[in-house]
Structure 1
Amino acid sequence: MINILGNFARLEELFLMLDAKLSEIDLAIQSSADPDSDGLFDQSEYYVGLGFVAAQQCLVETVIFSGLGKNKKAYKLGPRHRCGIAYVAAINSAADWWKHEAEW
């Protein structure tokens, strides 16, 4: 049996670490004459991508162990952005994009 609350606690801990790292990078961006050439935007994107993948992992575990199964219906559930897409679907898509972007 999966411990959903334990997963959320670990996810929260990871997000706090990622937030600290992103804040550090943001400070470097603010003081850089050319943050793009310094690779700071790429660093920031990397850590944001890690966050999406961690969230996706938690979502997949929750969906599978809740009995819904990993199907399209599961990713249409829950709160939605004002544009109409479910947050779960947006997180899943962003994580997939980040994981596979280098292949394209």
Structure 2
Amino acid sequence: MFVDFDLDLLKQLVRIIDQHLDIMCQKATQEDDLDSFGYFDSAEHITGLGFVACQTYMSSVYGYLRIEKQKALPIGPFHSSGQSIVQIINNAANYWKHNSEWSLEKTDKQRKYIEETFEMVGFPVNTDFPLCGVLTEITFPERAAFEPIISILELWRDELRKTVA
């Protein structure tokens, strides 16, 4: 029997992350000059943490099932761009963790792959607050939060489990 303790932990983390995003949105509606208060920067960092929490859950699932990452990530559900949503989540998490390490001169295969993913979703990495944009895009038409991603990850997990059954 498959007991998904990691999903319970992710749900707890998502609840906290979404609460912080809600607080940022509430504060943003009360101010005239949002950018000077750093609300957008805070929301972007909180969103990055959310993507990393989801990525950690994903790696625990495919690791437990003994499926290689490259075989696990292309499994649906899919975004309208044609990419699997878990691939987008994985790239968003990697972007948040590593983008400040990217030098302007360095040509890196993974960086280019992440940039292509963001462009396909509609929020290039060189735009302001691309992680918030990616979150909005993959949860549309629901609100931009991580709670809607839970059901997507559950569908992905169930599809992944079928490949080893």
Q: Which residue of 1 aligns with 2:61?
A: 62
Q: Which residue of 2 aligns with 1:52?
A: 51
Unaligned runs of 5+ in 2: 103-165
Unaligned runs of 5+ in 1: none
1:73 offset after TM fit, Å? 2.1
Is 2:21 aligned against 1:8? no
Q: Which residue of 1 aligns with 2:89?
A: 91
Partner Cα separation in structure 2 for residue 82 and residue 46 of structure 1? 25
Deviations 1:24-78 (A, max 9, x none): 11111111121111111000011111000000001011111111122x2221112
Letter in 1 for 2:17: L
Q: Which residue of 1 aligns with 2:21?
A: 22
Deviates more, 1:77-86 or 1:3-12: 3-12
Q: Give % identity.
A: 35
- Matched length: 101
Is 2:80 aligned against 1:82? yes
Partner Cα separation in structure 1 for residue 68 and residue 41 of structure 2? 34
What is the RMSD computed on CA atoms of the aligned residues?
Answer: 1.3
Indicate which of 99, 102, 112 corresponds to 1:101: 99
Q: Which of structure 1's runs of 4+ aligned residues deviate more than 4 A?
A: none
